[in-house]
Structure 1
Amino acid sequence: MAITEKESQISEFKSKSGLKRILSACSYSIQGFQAAWRNEHAFRQELCIVVPAMVVALLLPLPALHRLALVAVLMLLLIVELLNSALETVVDRISLERHPLSKVAKDIGSAAVFLALMLAGITWIVILLPLVKAWFTA
């Protein structure tokens, strides 16, 4: 049976199927977290804030949906930071020379992190403000 041109262009890095694919994906994810921790100051700083904040969010006397929202926006912040770090790494892999398009790509990634951070802050304020007010008026 002849291999078609499209089949011959499939990357050797393309994942396998079944359990091996799942185990490989988990391994790659762990390696990604390790690389982010080792190489990305912003990720480390955010993680040092996000982990305790998640614990606080889960312990607060709030409805489950509110706790979920507090945790979700923190997870979203980490997700966007990881994607921004990946984008910056790819840009740097292409070239370390200063280039206007490289700057635009990195600035857009930074803007995405900023928006995720603002969303997290606003969500926490909106959900916690009534709780804080109740504590001080009780």
Structure 2
Amino acid sequence: MIDNLKRLKTFTDERGSLISIEVGNEIPFIVKRLYYIFNTKNLPRGFHAHKNLEQMLICVSGSCDIKLDDGINSKVYKLNDPSKYLYINKPLWREIYNFSKDCCLIVLANELYDKNDYINSYEEYIQFLEENNEYKS
């Protein structure tokens, strides 16, 4: 079962809302990289998995759908609330789509960019899972 949706604590008063994200509390890893996706023209992205990377995905504005697939089960998450995030801590195939015009998706990662960590085809992903005893058919 893929259950990666988490909630951040939100502080709200008459001035608005504030969310604080701290390493060691909400983030279970040291952040080495942060990037964000915006202005997508609603074209799908992703279509890859990572061998080792941990990520925290937060849609701070607008909305998008993220499909996670573990080789057997898949689940689609609608990120449309900046107090919710997806935590990915194992190899999961991901597809990101249905971006709203105002979507801004922030991704925090525990490692710097490494092209060797990417698995860019679904067939390679299944093979990687089988070779690493993570595929349970």
TM-score range, shorter chain: under 0.3
Query: TM-score normalised to the size of structure 1?
Result: 0.24
Asked which structure has the greater CA Rg, the reply is: 1
More strand per residue: 1 or 2? 2
Structure scoring higher RCO (CA < 8 A, sep ≥ 6) equals 2
More helix per residue: 1 or 2? 1
Query: TM-score normalised to the size of structure 2?
Result: 0.24
